[in-house]
Amino acid sequence: MPFLARRLGGAALVMEQIYANRPSGRNALGRLVDRAIHAGPAARAVRHRWLATLEIGRALAPRAVLSVPCGSARDARAMGAARLVLADPDPQARALARAACPDAEVVGATVEQCPAGPFDLVLYVGLSEYLDDADLVQHLNMLRGRLTLDGALLTTCTAEHPQRAMMARWLGWRTRARTPDALGALLDAAGYRVESRVADPFGVQWVLLARPRPLA
């Protein structure tokens, strides 16, 4: 996994390995390093984030879902929505998403380019860590415009944790840490109210459920 991560960053193929918890390696040392990474708090927190997203999203019983960036669509395919739109600029991610969700609408698109909707659930998972505050608020505003009035946004942040520096050094992942309070403030600035937030046992990965605030 370190080889893939250094080459691809947090791309869908890398995340799929973490979600599936499949340590690999070309030799005994590589497999040992992979097992250590998969067993560490950061990887376990990512898997917890995925499970929390599934639990919260399915409880909403959405009819129309947009996932951007969709990655391998592990979370989106479990939502049970009649309409599923999977948007990602990465062709490898779209190939994984098509294989996982053959009936979904899969589009090569960024947040700015994804379909207008409306959707009653938007999954915006795993991207905020790579954006500054201004760009993140811009994305959140765009996604709010794609939600129904009573729709919901599921989004995430990564809090500061001891492995972050190691991941930057070993994997090339230079992410931005945010507390859930900091993400909540940005959601508020983009016109949302935070309804709930949950974290893994280590307090590393946070999943926030937010809804558009009624217009004054």
Task: Note whether 180 and 199 are within 8 A (CB).
Answer: yes
CATH class of 46-212: alpha beta
- State the Cα–Cα distance between residues 178 and 127, nearest whole angstrom: 12
Question: Does the pLDDT value for residue 21 go beyond 90?
Answer: no
- State the Cα–Cα distance between residues 174 and 136, nearest whole angstrom: 16
Q: Indicate the DSSP class of residue 23.
A: -
Query: How far is CA 85 from its chain centroid?
Result: 15
For residue 93, what are the CA distances in angstroms to 33, 47, 108, 118, 178?
A: 25, 18, 10, 23, 25
Which pLDDT tens digit goes with each residue over 157-203?
Answer: 998 766 666 665 555 566 788 999 999 999 999 999 999 999 988 88
Question: Does the pLDDT value for residue 34 go beyond 90?
Answer: no
Q: Tell me the chain's radius of gyration from C-alpha atoms.
A: 17
What is the domain partition of the chain in residue ranges? 46-212
Phi-psi region for residue 113, left (φ > 0), alpha (ψ -120 to 50) or beta? Answer: alpha
Alpha helices in the chain (DSSP H): 2-8, 12-20, 28-39, 41-59, 91-100, 133-144, 164-171, 180-189
pTM to 2 decimal places:
0.82
pLDDT tier, 149 (very low <50, low <70, confident <90, very high otherwise): very high
Phi-psi region for residue 142, left (φ > 0), alpha (ψ -120 to 50) or beta? Answer: alpha
Which pLDDT tens digit goes with each residue over 44-59?
Answer: 677 888 889 999 999 9
pLDDT average, residue stretch 14-22: 65
Residue 194 DSSP SS3: strand
Question: For position 49, what pLDDT does the model report?
Answer: 86
